[in-house]
Amino acid sequence: MSKTSKKTLKPLKPACRMGRPASRKGGLAYRIDRFPKEIRKRDGRIVSFEIKRIESAIFRAFEASGNPNRKVADEIAGIVIEKLIKKHKGATKFIPSIEEIQDLAEETLIERGYAKIAKSYILYREKRAEVRYEKQQILDKEEIDEVDKRFDANSLRVLRSRYLRKDDQGKVIESPKELFTRVAVHVSLPDIIYDKRVSKKKKTAGVAVLEGEIIGNEKAVALEGFLKIGKFSLNRFHIKALYKMFFRLEKEGRAKVSWEKLLQMLKKNQFKEHEKTIEKFYGIMVSRRFLPNTPTIANFGNYLGMGSACFALEINDSIDSIMDTLKKASIIFKAGGGLGYNFSQLRAEGDYIRTTGGTSSGPLIFMRLFDTMTEVIKQGGIRRGANMGIMDSNHPDIEKFVTAKSGNKSLKNFNISVMIMPDFWEYYKKNKPYPLVSPRTGEVVSHISPRFLLDRIAYQSWESGEPGVIFSDRVNEHNPFFKSLGPIKTTNPCGEVLLYPNESCNLGSLNVWSFLKSDSKEKKSIDWERLEKAIRIAVRFLDNVIDINVFPLSEIEKMSLNTRKIGLGVMGVGSLMYDLEIPFNSQKARNLMEKIIEFINYYSKAESVEIAKKRGSFPYYEKSFFPDGKLPFAGFYDKKSWSLDWSKLVKEIKKFGIRNSYTTVIAPTGSISMIAGCSSGIEPLFSLAFEKNVSVGSFYYIDPVFERAMLREGLFDEMLVRDVVVNNGSITKISYIPPRFKKIFVAAHDISPEDHVKTLASFQKWVDSSISKTNNFPFEAVVEDRSEEHTSELQSH
């Protein structure tokens, strides 16, 4: 036991009298009714007083000294409050300042014999002051606000670099608080349209769409500041998006009021009860419990108004179709989306062209055309566009496709994948020549050894990381539209969203790490009740995005409204396992992962049913297998693994329908996990400490859970950070780190490829669509390691 934990404090006399409330912390009682009600912040704002903040700051000082003691920290906080009350004795109302309380905390720590802790507390104050100044510099602000404080400096750098609005000179003209407010207001607008005073329930399965701008900018600008939802005002972009959704409502014959009447209602603030929805959407984002995908954050309440990240387009075998798709792709990139295409309908290189008597250039030439266009146009002006190029395994040019990215010298804006067709495995097992079929004639034109092809794929993926493989049978095994729309043959750029041509999907992720709670003994567990509430809010958020979204093309709008796919995923899984001290690559971790994703899938669908009760099912519901009592993920068909009542949920779906054909997708969450300050997707941390470069500068990122654990052990210093960086983010070879921490704080390359696959399997079982997951091979991995991975994939069939 440490010296600190042996120390005892003389408890204050209980101040509770009959009828007077009191609080007891660690055996110490103090009167709540004597607490100050408010506190003055450094920027002059007056906010509600919370003793938990004082307790937390003092505890961090104990933690930083290597002797964490929650009980003593809470007792010190109680003494500080008693001193504060005594200091202002006789005052009927007093508002202390932050600095006043912090000075008393230092004084009390020293008086009680905790000089070392007092020093840590002073250093903590200095560090906080440095962080405040750093944030001011990042955001070009004189004072930071309560939202800025919720995000660490690294998060604010990413927000500034990619999301906050700037003027022509690049100066930031928007705060994070303003950003999340404009997004929350924008996403809440469908609640106005679905209000019973505005719309009638849908009677038909069709959807109405309209191309082009339908309200002029001048009219929208003239209305700014006059339309209200409670305390929130609508800007011109909110108004334009609202009108487009209203026009759709009117065109479908469901509008109860005119546009002019709706404007009058908003001017009179008659929808102020929907302010609660805005606050929920705003709160779930600024608390970093949930964040939508990049286009939603960047574009909602802003110029482009497009919130979907993932799209797929079809390419038919004609120059008109190819060039038309190229144009559509450029429009989608301009709006901020990523794209997937299957090039298998294009005739092979050297094939006959009847109209000219010449020969075809082949699909790879046209892929290079798309690649060049992508290089020119940034996604939403933020980053380079991303593509997924797919070719079926039986296309005559498949070998050329497999080697198209050799050395990563071409198609740099493409991920490429081979669509392994269902018949491939029969030829593979029998080692018979695999037939390649002309997309122009449907006839077999040549053959290839299936084992050679798979070996070639393995070699190329070892040599350049490309291509990947997509299994057509697995993709479509639980596809709800397989019978009516045929097989899915396209995905988004990262492969996690399965899409038909002209479909889109908007994504968002729950930071599962943020749902940890601690009991009085510092034992941590997941707050399942709070997680359920967040899931339900997130599903409503993402479903609203579909309605208020400004789609880049009318045909995409129509298909997206018909299937209403949303992709609720996770991030912070690695951070969660670190904080729970569960090795990421253990069976215990995988069991918890499976429990979490089943829980998210279940309550996302439960909420989707609740929305359907009021707003109706997705229009293609009768074209899906949901009326037959089926669900689009493997776990549903393994009843022994259920921990929730899926039978009851299916009955609800059959009775009331469901709003969304997909509810769960797991994306890589690169940018939004940096904003949330957690690990990305379902990945372990790639590195416990590394140098990050963004447009506004370079900085060191240190995993906060690892930092806190090392502080507790008295091991955290500059040398440790340097040693971790030198060891490529791993601590396995750092001799002075205790072995138990080496088991807990595993980085991506510390985990075997087999364990990465097992992690993927734990999640995929309960996910509707798919998952973006990186399987890290060591630098010394050989081609045979990749071949073994593909053999394992074959055996899974």
User: What tokens appear for 620 in the block?
Assistant: 């293609």
User: What tokens appear for 211 in the block?
Assistant: 């191309």
Neighbours of 746 (CB within 10 A): 24
User: What tokens appear for 715 in the block?
Assistant: 């091991």
C-beta of residue 505 within 8 angstroms of C-beta of residue 568: no
User: Cα–Cα distances in Å, from 652 out to 471, 596, 655, 781?
Assistant: 32, 22, 5, 50
C-alpha 151/C-alpha 136 separation (Å) is 12
DSSP string, 121-187: HHHHHHHHHHHHHHHHHHHT-SS--HHHHHS-HHHHHHHHHHTS-B-TTS-B---HHHHHHHHHHHH
Q: Catalogue the long-range contacts made by 403-406 (C-beta closer than 8 Å, 24 or more residues apart).
A: 403/456, 403/460, 404/364, 404/367, 404/466, 404/467, 405/460, 405/464, 405/466, 405/467, 406/460, 406/463, 406/464
Angle between helices 115-139 and 98-111 (to 10 degrees): 160
C-beta of residue 596 within 8 angstroms of C-beta of residue 692: no
User: What tokens appear for 139 in the block?
Assistant: 């955001």
- Known catalytic membership, residue 503: no
Counted residue by residue, the chain has a size of 797
C-beta of residue 55 within 8 angstroms of C-beta of residue 10: no
C-alpha 123/C-alpha 125 separation (Å) is 5
User: What tokens appear for 578 in the block?
Assistant: 């670190």
Q: Is 567 helix (H, G, I), strand (E, B) or coil?
A: strand
Angle between helices 587-615 and 646-656 (to 10 degrees): 20
C-alpha 568/C-alpha 575 separation (Å) is 19
Which residues, including other chains, have CB under 8 Å from residue 121's CB and lie 6 or more apart?
Answer: 57, 58, 61, 102, 105, 106, 109
Neighbours of 672 (CB within 10 A): 28
Which residues, including other chains, have CB under 8 Å from residue 10's CB and lie 6 or more apart?
Answer: none
DSSP string, 266-281: HHTTTTGGGHHHHHHH
The active-site residue, picked from 106, 466, 496, 789, is 496
The active-site residue, picked from 293, 492, 544, 549, is 492
The active-site residue, picked from 310, 494, 505, 678, is 494
- Known catalytic membership, residue 310: no
User: Cα–Cα distances in Å, from 43 out to 40, 128, 131, 137, 146?
Assistant: 8, 14, 15, 16, 10
Q: What is the CA radius of gyration of the chain?
A: 29
User: If you ran DSSP here, which 8-state letter would residue 48 be given?
Assistant: E
CA 357 to chain centroid: 51
C-beta of residue 384 within 8 angstroms of C-beta of residue 374: yes
Q: Both ends of the chain: CA-CA distance in Å?
A: 55
C-alpha 667/C-alpha 681 separation (Å) is 6
Residues involved in catalysis = 492, 494, 496
